[in-house]
């Protein structure tokens, strides 16, 4: 499981010109599920991402989590994070999980983030999404668990 996490002032997702999700301050999580991901991978990613201390405290240090700041999360499934670019110039997506296993994992990730007290929205799995964001910092973290 791979994630690109961006600290944002706000973010939104539109499909076919219609906004389907929108958050204020928090994190945009681009989430890629690989074929061999397990429940343990999912649990570890939720635990790490939800506790990631990437928000500023009173001393301007990155010391607070999204929950600490009462922030929100927007999760966007992105199979292209599973790309293998070692050979040639055309990415291979052979390691990406099939939609029938990846989609439930993304839904479960969102469910667990909400359960952890972080208001979380998500994009449309498999949709042609347009993602807008204002990266705060900029702060971008890559998690590969």
Q: Which residues are catalytic?
A: 78-80
Are the beta carbons of 131 and 123 closer than 8 angstroms? yes
Neighbouring-strand partners of residue 27: 7, 73
How many whole angstroms separate alpha carbon 133 and alpha carbon 6?
Answer: 9
Structure tokens that stand for 111 in this block: 């469910």
How many whole angstroms separate alpha carbon 121 and alpha carbon 111?
Answer: 9
């Amino acid at each position: 499981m791979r994630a690109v996490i961006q600290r944002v002032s706000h973010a939104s997702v539109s499909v076919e010109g219609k906004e389907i999700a929108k958050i204020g301050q928090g994190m945009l999580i681009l989430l890629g599920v690989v074929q061999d991901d397990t429940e343990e991978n999912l649990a570890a990613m939720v635990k790490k991402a939800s506790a990631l201390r990437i928000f500023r405290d009173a001393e301007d240090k990155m010391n607070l989590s999204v929950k600490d700041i009462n922030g929100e999360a927007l999760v966007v499934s992105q199979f292209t994070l599973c790309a293998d670019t070692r050979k040639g110039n055309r990415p291979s997506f052979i390691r990406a999980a099939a939609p029938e296993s990846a989609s439930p994992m993304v839904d479960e990730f969102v469910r667990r983030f909400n359960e952890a007290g972080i208001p979380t929205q998500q994009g449309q799995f498999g949709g042609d999404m347009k993602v807008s964001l204002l990266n705060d910092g900029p702060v971008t973290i890559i998690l590969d668990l």
